[in-house]
Chains A and B, each alone.
Chain A
């Protein structure tokens, strides 16, 4: 039997225990084996939202979400068998309907005889812990995946790029395999070395000074560098150097990532070399073209001056030839005048031949002079009416036309920017020829013009005369070229040569179409016309 003191002490113990239970943060719930709530502390009220008054006498079922309804009978069965359920984590529903994660420890309650009469349940709200766990798990997963990603990135980077880390002094502290493979130095040879070990000498000092200034200032430097490998070969890298800043914001070390671009640079260099070569060829070509142009200009000058000389020669020759000819002709004639009939008949005949020869030579020289003057730009070209030029020619030919009874007709003739005297001369020579080389019929000459489209006209002089054998189409335009004997037709053979010279000087061309005994048509073109 316990003594009073002990009894009192037991009561005190009970109260103390009850106070502990009551003040526990965990829910401490008593229930019968059929699930009726018999005890409900403050913790339970806080976790589940029901007050003790609301909960006691109610079924535990009100705390269980419908999908978990099967748990309770099982737990109660285990309790009934005297077992405990420790740290059973499940979902429960609060008074306000919110689901919460709880961790439960359920133990049987025995009466004094040891028979199981109910169960005590200690439930802890682990929602927070659960959330933390989930967050932690997610965070771990994220870290893992970030790490994996980093590892993948590093792998990928190492596969493709040279990676190096140097300290602020420029000493290499890390290199990847790619660096070694490209530079042909081993890791051991590189680490601890200054980066200048790779200097190819290609870049000027200022290039690296600018680079160090940039990265020392905490900025990223990017550029293309030509490096020298251990074996002396060179390679190009597209380099990005990132300063890694310390907490003070100053560069602590530099990470350099480099891509080998040797092929591209070589291609560029080849391209540049080719372009330079091309430029050189082009320059040379240009020089040669210029030289040729100068040569041509010189040749042209020589030709021009020789043309001028030739013209002067023809002029001077024909002019100076007239002097002695005049003497021969005049004195032969004087001889004939004074002594005709006083010498014998042979002398008279000889004198006649001499006089005739002089006359012919005079004609030749006169024509040569005319030819040498033909096409000379005596006058500035002006707007010339084709009709006026033709009328001028007809006036000059008036006697010939009257004597031959020739009929001259013409179509509409354009105005041409040219030298009127020269155009008149061409018409005169062509019409004169048409009449001179007439057939037995009355000479009919028709002059016309047709536009060639654009700024050029073709003039034509058509006759019904003797016609010309096609084999002479070219020859007739040659100076002093004649197709007929002197007894048939007079003339020196200069007329068409003069026409050709004039027309060509004016920028046109002249030709003939003809059939023997069917007449001829002479054509010539002239630029500079309008309607």
Chain B
């Protein structure tokens, strides 16, 4: 079990909103490679992500995530819409949202931060880069930073 900063002993709950099975597995593997213990939940489109967050549909028992990793290009409801809904919601707005996307376009970066994304991460092409990202998230967001508890 990984050491966590803060007082909680429970594994941190991460919601990964990602439609690509390859990326989902890769993210899981990366956390595994980095030896970070988390409780990873996956929503494969924007609508499901909102159900999970609102405990609606098939996710009435869903836990409240500590962190959301959100892809921008999603079916049904895209990442921008999901981000906007989260940040407009008084109950969800405090959850840190990281945009994790292949895009590195300035426009996407700017728009995401304007919608109050907490971080914008371009998915690295190589495995090493991806591992580095996961390790960085762990060391900064899950260790250095104190997250809100609700």
Chain A contacts to B: CB under 8 angstroms? 319, 322-323, 325-327, 329-331, 333-334, 337, 358-359, 362, 378
Assembly CA distance A322 to B123 (angstroms): 10
Are B22 and A331 touching (Cβ within 8 A)? yes
Assembly CA distance A325 to B20 (angstroms): 13
Assembly CA distance A359 to B129 (angstroms): 12
A363: nearest residue on chain B (CB-CB)? B125
A326: nearest residue on chain B (CB-CB)? B125
Given contacts A330-B26, A331-B22, A331-B26, are A319 and B103 in contact (CB under 8 A)? yes
Given contacts A326-B102, A331-B26, are A337 and B125 in contact (CB under 8 A)? no
Q: Could you tell me the distance in whole angstroms from the C-beta of A325 to the nearest C-beta in chain B?
A: 7
B4 at the interface (CB under 8 A from A): no
By a CB distance below 8 angstroms, the chain A residues around B10 are none
B3 at the interface (CB under 8 A from A): no
Q: Could you tell me the distance in whole angstroms from the C-beta of A496 to the nearest C-beta in chain B?
A: 23
Assembly CA distance A330 to B124 (angstroms): 9
By a CB distance below 8 angstroms, the chain B residues around A337 are 33, 127
Are B125 and A358 touching (Cβ within 8 A)? yes
Q: Could you tell me the distance in whole angstroms from the C-beta of B117 to the nearest C-beta in chain A?
A: 19
Q: Could you tell me the distance in whole angstroms from the C-beta of B29 to the nearest C-beta in chain A?
A: 6
Are B102 and A362 touching (Cβ within 8 A)? no
By a CB distance below 8 angstroms, the chain B residues around A319 are 102-103, 105
7 A–B contacts from the bound complex (CB under 8 Å) = A319-B105, A322-B125, A327-B23, A330-B22, A330-B26, A358-B125, A358-B126
Are B130 and A330 touching (Cβ within 8 A)? yes
Q: Which of A334, A359, A362 contacts B29 (CB 8 A)?
A: A334
B128 at the interface (CB under 8 A from A): yes
By a CB distance below 8 angstroms, the chain A residues around B106 are 378
By a CB distance below 8 angstroms, the chain A residues around B124 are 326
B14-52: CB near A (< 8 Å → 1, else 0) gives 000000101100100100010000000000000000000
Given contacts A319-B102, A319-B103, are A329 and B22 in contact (CB under 8 A)? no
Beyond A334-B29, A359-B126, 13 additional pairs, beta carbon < 8 A: A319-B102, A319-B105, A323-B20, A323-B102, A327-B20, A327-B26, A330-B126, A331-B22, A331-B26, A333-B127, A333-B128, A362-B125, A362-B126
Assembly CA distance A378 to B106 (angstroms): 10
Chain B contacts to A: CB under 8 angstroms? 20, 22-23, 26, 29, 33, 102-103, 105-106, 123-128, 130
By a CB distance below 8 angstroms, the chain A residues around B29 are 334
Assembly CA distance A482 to B48 (angstroms): 48
By a CB distance below 8 angstroms, the chain A residues around B127 are 329-331, 333-334, 337
Q: Which 4 pairs show the lowest CB-CB distances between chains A and B?
A: A333-B127, A327-B22, A330-B127, A362-B125
Q: Could you tell me the distance in whole angstroms from the C-beta of B45 to the nearest C-beta in chain A?
A: 16
Q: Could you tell me the distance in whole angstroms from the C-beta of A322 to the nearest C-beta in chain B?
A: 5
Are A329 and B102 touching (Cβ within 8 A)? no
By a CB distance below 8 angstroms, the chain B residues around A329 are 125-127
Are A325 and B125 touching (Cβ within 8 A)? yes
By a CB distance below 8 angstroms, the chain A residues around B103 are 319
Q: Could you tell me the distance in whole angstroms from the C-beta of A3 to the nearest C-beta in chain B?
A: 173
By a CB distance below 8 angstroms, the chain A residues around B130 are 330
Q: Could you tell me the distance in whole angstroms from the C-beta of A454 to the nearest C-beta in chain B?
A: 35
Q: Could you tell me the distance in whole angstroms from the C-beta of B11 to the nearest C-beta in chain A?
A: 23
By a CB distance below 8 angstroms, the chain A residues around B123 are 326
B21: nearest residue on chain A (CB-CB)? A327
Assembly CA distance A334 to B103 (angstroms): 22
Q: Could you tell me the distance in whole angstroms from the C-beta of B74 to the nearest C-beta in chain A?
A: 13
Q: Could you tell me the distance in whole angstroms from the C-beta of B24 to the nearest C-beta in chain A?
A: 11
Q: Could you tell me the distance in whole angstroms from the C-beta of B32 to the nearest C-beta in chain A?
A: 10
Q: Could you tell me the distance in whole angstroms from the C-beta of B20 to the nearest C-beta in chain A?
A: 7
Assembly CA distance A331 to B20 (angstroms): 14
B128: nearest residue on chain A (CB-CB)? A333
By a CB distance below 8 angstroms, the chain B residues around A362 are 125-126
Q: Could you tell me the distance in whole angstroms from the C-beta of A338 to the nearest C-beta in chain B?
A: 9
Assembly CA distance A429 to B29 (angstroms): 38
Assembly CA distance A322 to B33 (angstroms): 23
Are A333 and B126 touching (Cβ within 8 A)? yes
By a CB distance below 8 angstroms, the chain B residues around A331 are 22, 26, 127
Assembly CA distance A359 to B124 (angstroms): 12
B127: nearest residue on chain A (CB-CB)? A333
